């Protein structure tokens, strides 16, 4: 106990709190700007379009999230873990290698999405899903490029740089939305096209600020893209199955709602999920911020400090997300009227139900990032292997009993199962019992 208290005291010094307070603030601002753009797109589409057309966008976006999951587990997460611990002295060259990996990986994923859009066009040419899926496929490389470059800013512990790109993205998308709306051109395809162009502009700015567009020859050690790809695969291969299972447990509900109740019902479910999606972005921002620092600690054998950081992150996020859910439960009706002008008033009660999702995500975030930083992504496969069948089975039965409420309850249950399994695996892992000399200095 004395060792733990001493380690905690070394972490919670005024200097460290100022540094992490600033970084946390910048991370939240960055994530807020990016999610604000996505919030604006979803909000205006939900307000200005019929539920069926917005439902087509929601289904296509859910498919985009599924496809982008491969990008995350094979590029973003490995880069966040391997970059600080293995390539800390040559990050610019390492980042360029990861951009090359991005081109190869996303080219394949984009082609698959465009092919799916072509198949839909042949089968149901008049469906609004056609334009939505094609738009998502065509803009996939640009959207994910911004995700990649923003993650680089977190790897170098400079979320303030990411803020500039996210601000440009928000301004570009916000202005474009009003222009498209004024001209009557706003739809699923043009919404994806707008986000793609904004992502390209913002990514270009961040690449320039990270000094990755130009560099003097010989100024840094280069890293082969094939080496980066092998490292990514060695780490990310464990997460591919996990990502697929996660998508099954958390996104199956949207597709089932669209299939059984129609695109309009899928649009309603997505609209009521918008507030909780914003909070999910906050928890994601926290994870992005702490993962490189966790990896730094693990790479230097400072396991005790890592454990205390893990507990602090999970506790803080749990308190924040529970407070959010409670407030949303009290003000759901007013929130719906503010966002949608009463269009979905009959379904406002779904908002606090869906807000339980970020509560579960916030609780598990610290433990999840701690095990990822420890290069043990296998835990995620186990957690999702348990959550996925629960999500599918509960979605079928709950929707049969309670309709849209059943879909929302199924989402919350699958996230709760994932959080419980993650916590149990972390607590029983061998690393949790390791001790180190706490007389270290906080060097981040």
What sign for the dihedral angle of Cα 107, 109, 115, 118? negative
User: What are the percentages of helix, strand and coil residues in the chain, rounded to 5?
Assistant: 85, 0, 15
Q: Write the DSSP string, 230-297.
A: HHHHHHHHHHHHHHHHHHHHHHHHHHHHHHHH-HHHHHHHHHHHHHHHHHHHHHHHHHHHHHHHHHHH
Whether 97 and 230 have beta carbons less than 8 Å apart is answered as no
For residue 88, what pLDDT is reported? 67
d(CA 40, CA 227): 39
pLDDT at 415: 94
Q: Using CA atoms, how far apart are residues 341 and 357, in angstroms rounded to an integer?
A: 25
What is the DSSP secondary-structure string of 405-427?
Answer: HHHHHHHHHHHHHHHHHHHHHHH
User: To 5 degrees, how large is the angle CA 38–CA 42–CA 48?
Assistant: 145
Cα radius of gyration (the chain): 22
pTM over 0.85: no
- Mean pLDDT, consecutive 10-residue segments, the chain of 444 residues? 44 54 68 78 85 90 86 88 76 88 90 90 87 92 94 84 90 91 88 94 92 59 80 81 82 89 90 89 80 77 82 92 93 90 91 94 90 76 88 92 92 94 84 39 34
| Cβ atoms of 68 and 147 closer than 8 Å | yes
């Amino acid at each position: 106990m004395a060792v733990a208290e001493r380690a905690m005291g070394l972490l919670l010094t005024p200097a460290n709190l100022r540094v992490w307070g600033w970084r946390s603030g910048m991370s939240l601002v960055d994530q807020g700007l990016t999610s604000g753009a996505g919030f604006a797109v979803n909000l205006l589409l939900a307000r200005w379009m019929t539920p069926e057309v917005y439902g087509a966008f929601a289904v296509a976006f859910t498919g985009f999230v599924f496809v982008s999951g491969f990008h995350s587990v094979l590029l973003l997460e490995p880069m966040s873990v391997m970059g600080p611990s293995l390539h800390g002295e040559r990050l610019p060259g390492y980042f360029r290698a990861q951009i090359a990996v991005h081109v190869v990986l996303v080219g394949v994923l984009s082609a698959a999405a465009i092919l799916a859009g072509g198949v839909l066009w042949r089968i149901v040419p008049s469906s609004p899903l056609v334009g939505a899926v094609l738009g998502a496929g065509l803009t996939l490389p640009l959207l994910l490029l911004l995700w990649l470059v923003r993650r680089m800013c977190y790897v170098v512990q400079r979320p303030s740089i990411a803020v500039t790109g996210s601000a440009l993205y928000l301004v570009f998308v916000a202005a474009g939305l009003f222009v498209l709306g004024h001209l009557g051109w706003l739809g699923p395809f043009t919404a994806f096209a707008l986000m793609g162009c904004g992502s390209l502009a913002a990514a270009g700015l961040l690449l320039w600020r990270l000094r990755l567009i130009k560099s003097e020859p010989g100024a840094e050690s280069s890293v082969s893209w094939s080496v980066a790809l092998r490292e990514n695969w060695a780490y990310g291969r464990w997460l591919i199955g996990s990502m697929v299972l996660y998508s099954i447990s958390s996104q199956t509900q949207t597709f089932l709602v669209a299939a059984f109740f129609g695109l309009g019902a899928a649009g309603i479910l997505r609209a009521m999920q918008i507030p909780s999606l914003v909070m999910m972005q906050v928890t994601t921002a926290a994870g992005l911020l702490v993962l490189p620092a966790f990896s730094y600690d693990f790479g230097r054998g400072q396991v005790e400090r890592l454990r205390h950081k893990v507990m602090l992150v999970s506790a803080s996020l749990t308190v924040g997300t529970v407070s959010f859910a409670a407030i949303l439960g009290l003000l759901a009706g007013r929130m719906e009227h503010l966002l949608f002008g009463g269009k979905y008033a009959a379904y406002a009660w779904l908002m606090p139900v869906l807000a339980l999702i970020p509560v579960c995500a916030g609780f598990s975030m610290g433990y999840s990032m701690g095990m990822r930083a420890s290069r043990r992504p296998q835990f995620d496969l186990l957690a999702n292997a348990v959550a996925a069948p629960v999500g599918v089975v509960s979605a079928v039965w709950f929707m049969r009993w309670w309709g849209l409420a059943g879909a929302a309850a199924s989402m919350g249950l699958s996230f709760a199962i994932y959080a419980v399994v993650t916590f149990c695996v972390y607590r029983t892992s061998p690393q949790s019992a390791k001790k180190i000399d706490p007389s270290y200095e906080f060097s981040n």
